[in-house]
Amino acid sequence: MNPDSLKSVYFLGIGGIGMSSLARYFARKGVTISGYDRTPTALTGQLINEGMDIHFKDDLRRIPRGIDLVIYTPAIPADHKEFQYFKQGKIPMKKRAEVLGMIASSYKTIAVAGTHGKTTTSTLIAHILRTAGINQLAFLGGISKNYDTNFLCPEEVPSTAGQQKPGFQQPVYCVVEADEYDRSFLHLHPDIAIITSADADHLDSYRSHQSMLESYGAFTEAIRDQGSLIMKLDIPVKKVHRHSYYHYSYALNQEAAFFAKNIRLKKGLIHFDFIAPNETISNLVLGIPGLFNLENAIAALAVGYLTGIRKTHLKNALKSYQGVQRRFDFRICRRDLVYIDDYAHHPEELRACISAARELYPNKKLTGIFQPHLFSRTRDLASGFARSLELLDEVLLLDIYPAREKPIRGVTSRLLLDQIKLERKKLINKDEVIRELKKDPPEVLLTLGAGDIDLLVKPVTDALNALNR
């Protein structure tokens, strides 16, 4: 299949963050886009405004004719009516990861893998390239706050008549998130690969942590000859060297090929020196808070260093970086009230987010509203979730968001709540959240999770802003 020859593409699960970036790529190339998703969201609303035909019921009558390709996500169940219709009709179907691999193969690919940290790292890499004036495609796993999108491409090419036409200048790089779920990242063959973390996750797919680590090893095997691997120090991934590539380690403040030194906090922002092989870049400022974000920034700076980007561009990009929606995302920041929204859905992500909030507000009460994501993840990592949530002063726990899964007997939010060793903990429904917050107004509030908890962000923001404090 040649992606450049497509005229009509249908997306099953178009509202997903990865699927929507791919839909935007094809739309910018003049392809007619249509698709299905289970629930309307702000993102699907944006896609509709961009001219895509999207519906939200499993309805064969809404499928247009003349589709060249169906792109689907593994979250679509096999018994889905539309999925079965396409399969039986022998219309070409490919997983999102396959299509992304085909597109990326035409460019110098920068692929960011990791159980956490990859969205911030890849978005910052894209921002560094954009700041340096380097043409790129970027398929991001979150909405960049600098650009208000999860897809970046060069400017459109003007036609001979001076009119804009679909398409864009030939990019130099393709920046992608390398998703480990379902071994999707093995469709990529990066010139530069980054591994930010490899904690146990997706055990519904891998069955064991060791199996997941072996998959990460296979990812390193896919690096192109004479490419580069940038991997966080001490990650237990066995690197595969069946051909020649360069390996660089990075760390927050331990000695490695790339690391930070002289870290200090000034007015809520992190200042530091960046140590690279044979060079030090002094007095950098990171535009977003949190030591975990500094660690991500070191990996992104390593990419900038290896691609030859000038120091001034690195400094400017780092300072002007605004972050990603739902990644330590400040919704309210007043003296009397702080509200931060975060996508954290793994114990280590929770630990990093809560610790960063505690660092910024050491004398404030931290209240967290957490929505567990997936029954299998809650079951497999319950102890880790409990230990991380205990870093809060108060936990309000929502029901598990099932995503692609069916319920597992005995696995509920109650299972998790019972393991949390806090006095102030409570199970609540989503429709009780506002009432709870009004009854006991928070000092620092965190909403945490990867499900549909994002639908609470605006009502919570509005309700907290309306409180008389």
Instruction: Give the global pTM.
Output: 0.86
How buried is residue 391: exposed, middle or buried, by Cβ count under 10 Å (0-12/13-18/19+)? Answer: middle
Residues 6+ apart with CB under 8 A from 298: 250, 251, 252, 258, 259, 260, 274
The residue ranges of the chain whose pLDDT is under 70 are 1, 155-169, 202-204, 241-242, 468-469
How confident is the model at residue 335, as a pLDDT?
Answer: 87
Structural domains in the chain? 3-94 (3.40.50.720), 105-320 (3.40.1190.10), 329-466 (3.90.190.20)
pLDDT of residue 282: 96
Neighbours of 119 (CB within 10 A): 26
Can you give the pLDDT at residue 168? 65
Phi, psi of 37 (to 5 degrees): -150, 160
Cα–Cα distance measured from residue 96 to residue 255, given in angstroms and rounded to the nearest whole number: 38
Q: What is the pLDDT of residue 157?
A: 42
Structure tokens at 178: 């390398």
CA-CA distance, 204 to 208, in Å (whole number)? 9
3-state secondary structure the chain: CCHHHCCEEEEECCCCHHHHHHHHHHHHCCCEEEEECCCCCHHHHHHHHCCCEEECCCCHHHCCCCCCEEEECCCCCCCCHHHHHHHHCCCCEEEHHHHHHHHHCCCEEEEEECCCCHHHHHHHHHHHHHHCCCCEEEEEEEEECCCCEEEECCCCCECCCCCECCCCCCCCEEEEEECCHHHHHHHCCCCEEEECCCCCCCHHHHCCHHHHHHHHHHHHHCCCCCEEEEEECCCCCCCCCCCCEEEEEECCCCCCCEEEEEEEEECCEEEEEEEECCEEEEEEEECCCCHHHHHHHHHHHHHHHHCCCCHHHHHHHHHHCCCECCCCEEEEECCCCEEEEECCCCHHHHHHHHHHHHHHCCCCCEEEEECCECHHHHHHCHHHHHHHHCCCCEEEECCCECCCCCCCCCCCHHHHHCCCCCCCEEECCHHHHHHHHHHCCCCEEEEECCCCHHHHHHHHHHHHHHCCC
